[in-house]
Chain A
């Protein structure tokens, strides 16, 4: 692991003093402090949630979702549920409509018909920042970080979604705003540790290695305190070792009380982490069930060109939905 590099020469995006202090203090910790710190980190990342009692309830309901772009039907009357506390895999061949489904869930597109409801609340006509506040966050198939910001700042942008101070309060730097700012930096730092990239917190996002960038996207999405985390091909471009580490991280995220929907081509990752699978093909749902059932489903096997599911294109290229 390399030392955090403090990029003091950058002109417009220096690390705020508070962050530097924080990084210093993390470097100079002994083992006991470290253990205590780690406990604090996990408490901060995963605050007590209500999922234990509510696990298994429907969190997100996709209901008769249809999306047409001109003459092209990207999604055709798709219906499925996401249960609280599970990892749901959304799979299918290229162009099946998986990313389109994500784009509807996060407000990028509006559905032609049907609805998506989070805890009964319709997301279909909601503004994007409202959807984040309602509790759906995502990562992107093609990484979309704020490249000129540091890793830490990227995550802090995510925490801003939960800030309560009003604009005048922020302009006047009222005590509450200052406290929220401090908490945001601490929480962001804890999230970077959680996803395992805290050593590069002060680096610009573009300067991070590819795998770190993918993990940073996850940290930024978690910073918005989502009820539902949507991961769009998080393992794309990863080596086998990196994929294993990622699977571990996704399971850890689920165990911390988040609900996860994952779009992924790599079947080893999919079968390794998901509790349930929904399979799309040409915009229609063709299967919905436990991974073991789904992989034996004839419709699914034929959708993947007649091959066994295990032989499906691992980490296949970009999906255009």
Chain B
């Protein structure tokens, strides 16, 4: 506990709340304005705007987090290359835009229906490409290790290696500069919530993400393939002895994770049109992984909750402490949650429990 040194006789929880208490921090801020703000006024002013923006960002984190959580549930493997599957999805969207004749920098002059159709097409392409890439990654990187009963550490280092390899291949093909900005649908306020504007993009992203989450959740909890996924997650040996084809379950798990990452890629590029770059998955991947751990890795609903909380919290943090603190807030939040709930908010389970 880092704070314990300052107040050795105070119980842990009180130390934390004291450190975060504005009354204690404010005098400190007066001398150190240069590197940290403490703008409670801004936090309150932007509360609703931050909440909505945070939910939109958080939905994207949640969709990517589902891929981490699903694979972890089935293989107890942190698939660090999942962020690159997401980047492949981003390029799938971007190249589809180019293929459809959209020019970087120019605003499209098309009827809304055509734009929606183009976005849908790009989304489908990204989902297919990312889904296939995830299945391919599993075949090439992880299945050979499983065949040879490799130790868990070998999987982990392979995941990191695969992540770099995919990143560098994208860099070689597309260069290291970010691609031009293609914005099909500029954000425009649709309505306001407590005075905060909600853009059309934010509505689409939040609703579509939640719809995709519900489909994924129902798939895992209600369908036959999902039943196989849960059986393998709980007890792989018994599952195979009851006729579950484990290799197929693993393939489907990667496929579903990749498809969700492809959808996230579309929403990401709609929000951040300059985001198509070879290493663009790094920070987002780490954030999504954080979201998965925050909610309880292996737990689908935890991934959604973790993503949304992370998105909202980092927006609040940005207002409160200043823009540079956005990522710090996200990771400090993770540390704090794990200190008190080591298995995450909802606990660790893709139907995993001590039977």
Taking Cβ atoms with an 8 Å cutoff, the residues of A that contact B are 11-14, 16, 106-108, 127-129, 132-133, 137-138, 140, 144-149, 153, 156-158, 160-163, 165, 167, 170-171, 173, 177, 180-181, 184, 205-206, 220-221, 224
Residues of A within 8 A of B244 (CB): 129, 157, 160-161
A132 touches B242 (CB 8 A): yes
B241 touches A12 (CB 8 A): no
Can you list the 9 inter-chain pairs with the closest CB atoms, starting with the nearest?
Answer: A147-B355, A161-B243, A132-B243, A128-B240, A148-B353, A144-B238, A148-B351, A129-B245, A146-B234
**Residue in A14, A177, A205 whose beta carbon sits within 8 Å of that of B224 in the complex:** A177
In the complex the two chains form, what is the Cα distance from A155 to B351 in whole Å? Answer: 16
Residues of B within 8 A of A11 (CB): 301, 346
B224 touches A170 (CB 8 A): yes
**Residue in B238, B241, B252, B300 whose beta carbon sits within 8 Å of that of A107 in the complex:** B241
Per-residue CB proximity of B338-355 to A under 8 Å, as 1/0?
000000001001011111
In the complex the two chains form, what is the Cα distance from A132 to B238 in whole Å? Answer: 12
Given A12-B300, A167-B225: 9 more A-B contacts, CB < 8 Å = A12-B221, A129-B243, A148-B351, A148-B353, A157-B231, A157-B239, A206-B353, A221-B242, A224-B243
A146 touches B355 (CB 8 A): yes
B222 on the A face (CB < 8 A): yes
What is the interface residue range for chain B against chain A? Answer: 20 to 34
In the complex the two chains form, what is the Cα distance from A127 to B228 in whole Å? Answer: 16
**Which residue of chain B has the shortest Cβ distance to A161 in the bound complex?**
B243
Residues of A within 8 A of B230 (CB): 146, 148-149
Residues of A within 8 A of B352 (CB): 148
A160 touches B351 (CB 8 A): no
B46 on the A face (CB < 8 A): no
Residues of A within 8 A of B222 (CB): 16
Residues of A within 8 A of B221 (CB): 12-14
Task: Find the residue from B224, B246, B301 having the highest chain A CB count within 10 A.
Answer: B224
The SS class assigned to the B binding surface is helix
A146 touches B235 (CB 8 A): yes
Taking Cβ atoms with an 8 Å cutoff, the residues of B that contact A are 221-225, 227-228, 230-231, 234-235, 237-246, 248, 252, 299-301, 346, 349, 351-355
B301 touches A148 (CB 8 A): no
- A100 to chain B minimum Cβ distance, whole angstroms, is 15
Residues of A within 8 A of B240 (CB): 107, 128-129
**Which residue of chain B has the shortest Cβ distance to A16 in the bound complex?**
B222
- B303 to chain A minimum Cβ distance, whole angstroms, is 12
A-B contact pairs, 26 of them (CB 8 A): A12-B221, A12-B299, A106-B241, A108-B241, A128-B241, A132-B243, A133-B243, A137-B243, A140-B238, A144-B238, A145-B238, A146-B231, A146-B234, A146-B235, A146-B239, A147-B353, A148-B230, A153-B227, A158-B243, A161-B242, A162-B243, A167-B248, A170-B223, A177-B224, A220-B242, A224-B242
In the complex the two chains form, what is the Cα distance from A206 to B355 in whole Å? Answer: 6
- B30 to chain A minimum Cβ distance, whole angstroms, is 46
**Which residue of chain A has the shortest Cβ distance to B225 in the bound complex?**
A170
In the complex the two chains form, what is the Cα distance from A181 to B219 in whole Å? Answer: 13
B243 touches A12 (CB 8 A): no
B349 touches A148 (CB 8 A): yes
B355 touches A205 (CB 8 A): yes
In the complex the two chains form, what is the Cα distance from A245 to B131 in whole Å? Answer: 51
Task: Find the residue from A12, A160, A220 having the highest chain B CB count within 10 A.
Answer: A12
In the complex the two chains form, what is the Cα distance from A170 to B230 in whole Å? Answer: 16
**Which residue of chain A has the shortest Cβ distance to B218 in the bound complex?**
A16
A160 touches B234 (CB 8 A): no
In the complex the two chains form, what is the Cα distance from A150 to B241 in whole Å? Answer: 19
- A123 to chain B minimum Cβ distance, whole angstroms, is 13
- B65 to chain A minimum Cβ distance, whole angstroms, is 16
Residues of A within 8 A of B300 (CB): 12
In the complex the two chains form, what is the Cα distance from A167 to B301 in whole Å? Answer: 24
**Which residue of chain B has the shortest Cβ distance to A204 in the bound complex?**
B353
In the complex the two chains form, what is the Cα distance from A181 to B248 in whole Å? Answer: 19
In the complex the two chains form, what is the Cα distance from A180 to B225 in whole Å? Answer: 13
Residues of B within 8 A of A165 (CB): 224
B301 touches A145 (CB 8 A): no
Residues of A within 8 A of B252 (CB): 167
- B245 to chain A minimum Cβ distance, whole angstroms, is 5
**Which residue of chain B has the shortest Cβ distance to A173 in the bound complex?**
B223
In the complex the two chains form, what is the Cα distance from A132 to B245 in whole Å? Answer: 10
Residues of A within 8 A of B299 (CB): 12
In the complex the two chains form, what is the Cα distance from A252 to B246 in whole Å? Answer: 32
A149 touches B351 (CB 8 A): yes
Residues of B within 8 A of A127 (CB): 245
Residues of A within 8 A of B228 (CB): 157, 160
- B248 to chain A minimum Cβ distance, whole angstroms, is 7
A146 touches B238 (CB 8 A): yes
B351 touches A12 (CB 8 A): yes
Residues of A within 8 A of B351 (CB): 12-13, 146, 148-149
**Which residue of chain B has the shortest Cβ distance to A128 in the bound complex?**
B240
- A44 to chain B minimum Cβ distance, whole angstroms, is 19
Residues of B within 8 A of A157 (CB): 227-228, 231, 239, 242, 244
